Amino acid sequence: MPVNPNFLERLVLLRLNKGPAPMLDLFGAASFESVSLALDLGLFELVADAETPLTASTLADRIDAHPDGIAMLCNFLVTEDYLSTSEDGYRLTKMTETWLLADSETNMGPWLTFWNELVFPFWERELETAIREGEPSQSIYEWFDEEPERWEIAQDGFRATASLLVDDVVDAVSIPDGSTQLIDIGGGHGLYTVELCRRHSDIVATIFDVQGAIEAINDEIPAELAERVSVQTGDYHTDDLGDGFDLALLFNVIHAHDPAENTALFERVADSLAPNGRIIVLDQWEGSGRTPVSRAGLRFVALTYLTTLGATVYAHEEVMSWLREAGFTDVSRQSVGPLSGLALIEATKQ
C-alpha cells in the first residue's frame, strides 16, 4: 500500500501544505507496479513456501534475476509493508499473507493483475479521449473480444473481488421456499450464483452473459452443481432471456448503460419473470460514500467506468425510479459489504 506518513509528515504534507504531497501518489504508483511485478515473478509465493526467511541472493537464484535488482525491489516492498526484513532475509507481512497469496480465500492478486495488464493500459490509451469526448473510442469489453485471453484475466479479477463480498451478498438475498428458477444476467464468473445454489438445494440457475465472459468461466462451476447451473450466451438487450424465472440477478451491470437502456433492460427482465418474481440489483451508488476511502473509491470507480465504458455510477434513487417505471413495486435498498457505497436494490414484478 502507499507509504503511511507519520504524524509529522501528515502535518507538513497534508495539513500545512509545506511539502509536495503529490509525491505520495508517485510512491503509490511505484508501489502498484512493484507489487504487480512481485506477483508476476511469484516472489510472494516463494517467500511463503520457505521455512526460513529468504535472502535477496536466494530469491534471485530461484527467480532467475539479478541479486541487486531483487534486493532493491524487496527493500521497497518492505517500506510499503508487503515484506518485512531481518538479518536472515525477507518474510511476508500479515497483509500480504491475507490478500496476495494464491491459497488465501481473500486473494486479491488476480484483481491487481487485471488492473495492471488490462485496465490501466486501456486507461493510458482512452482516458483523454473519454474526458474530451465523454466516452472512449471503444468499450473495454469490445477490446477484450479482440483477444479472448483478456476475458480470462478479467474474469479472474472480477471473481477475486466478488469473493470478498459473496458471503455478505448471499446472506442478504432472501430465497423463497420451494423450487426457484434463477437467472443471473451479466453473471460472468458465476460466483454469486454458485454460492446461492450451494446454500439452497432447490435453486436451478442460468448464467446469461456475452460469449467471451461465458467461455472464461471454464471449470468454475463445481461438478456437483453441473445439473443445476447452466450457461447461456447472448446480448441481454436483444436476445431472448427466457421466462418463468422467480429471481433475476443484475449484479454490476447497470453502471455500463444509460438510463433509457437500463429502463428497457428492467422491462425485459420483468417479461422474463413469473408473477411476483423479484429482481435484485447490485452496484456501487453515487453519494453513498461516508468515509474518505469509500468516497475516493466511488469517484475512482466512476472515472474508470467513464474511461472504459463511457458510463458512470448512478444514485440509488435513480435506479429505484427506473424500476418503478418498468412496472416493479416494493422497491427497497440494503447496504452490503464492509465499506459503504455498495448496496442491493430489490423489487417485485407487479
User: Could you give the angle at which helices 148-163 and 191-199 cross, rounded to 10 degrees?
Assistant: 50
Per-residue confidence (pLDDT) for residue 342, from 0 to 100: 86
Per-residue pLDDT tens digits of the chain, which is 350 residues long: 678 899 999 999 999 999 999 999 999 999 999 999 999 999 999 999 999 999 999 999 999 999 999 999 999 999 999 999 999 999 999 999 999 999 998 999 999 999 999 999 999 999 999 999 999 999 999 999 999 899 999 999 999 999 999 999 999 998 877 879 999 999 988 999 999 999 999 999 999 999 988 888 867 788 899 899 999 999 999 999 999 999 999 999 999 999 999 999 999 999 999 999 999 999 999 888 778 888 888 899 999 999 999 999 999 999 999 999 999 999 999 988 776 688 999 999 98
Per-residue confidence (pLDDT) for residue 217, from 0 to 100: 80
Alpha-helix residue ranges (DSSP H) falling in the chain: 7-10, 23-41, 43-49, 56-63, 67-79, 94-99, 109-114, 120-133, 140-146, 148-163, 166-172, 191-199, 211-215, 259-272, 292-309, 316-325
Q: Are 171 and 141 in contact (CB under 8 A)?
A: no
Cell of 251: 449484479
* Correct CATH for 140-349 of 3.40.50.150, 3.40.50.300, 3.90.1720.10, 3.20.20.140: 3.40.50.150
Per-residue confidence (pLDDT) for residue 350, from 0 to 100: 80
Residue 348 C-alpha from the chain's centroid: 27
Task: Tell me how far apart the alpha carbons of residues 52 and 55 are, in angstroms, rounded to a whole number.
Answer: 10
Partnered with residue 203 across adjacent β-strands are: 180
What pTM does this model have? Answer: 0.90
Task: Tell me how far apart the alpha carbons of residues 22 and 226 are, in angstroms, rounded to a whole number.
Answer: 51
Per-residue confidence (pLDDT) for residue 218, from 0 to 100: 65
- For the domain made up of 7-99, the CATH class stated in words is mainly alpha
What strand order describes the sheet that includes 342-349? 229-233, 203-209, 180-185, 245-251, 273-284, 342-349, 328-335
Per-residue confidence (pLDDT) for residue 277, from 0 to 100: 94
Identify the CA nearest to 328 among candidates 285, 267, 245, 246.
267
Q: 3-class SS at 241?
A: coil
CA terminus-to-terminus distance, the chain: 48
Cell of 97: 499473507
What residue type is 204 in one-letter code? V
Q: 3-class SS at 266?
A: helix
Q: Are 265 and 183 in contact (CB under 8 A)?
A: no
- Residue 284: φ, ψ to 5°: -90, 150
Strands 342-349 and 273-284, by their bridges, are antiparallel
Other Cβ atoms less than 10 A from the Cβ of 224: the count is 10
Strands 180-185 and 203-209, by their bridges, are parallel
Per-residue confidence (pLDDT) for residue 340, from 0 to 100: 64
Per-residue confidence (pLDDT) for residue 280, from 0 to 100: 97
Per-residue confidence (pLDDT) for residue 339, from 0 to 100: 66
Task: Tell me how far apart the alpha carbons of residues 242 and 20 are, in angstroms, rounded to a whole number.
Answer: 58
- Residue 333: φ, ψ to 5°: -130, 145
- Residue 22: φ, ψ to 5°: -55, -15
Burial of 13 (0-12, 13-18, 19+ CB in 10 A): middle
Q: Are 54 and 89 in contact (CB under 8 A)?
A: yes
Domain ranges of the chain: 7-99, 140-349
SS3 content of the chain, % helix, strand, coil (to 5): 50, 20, 30
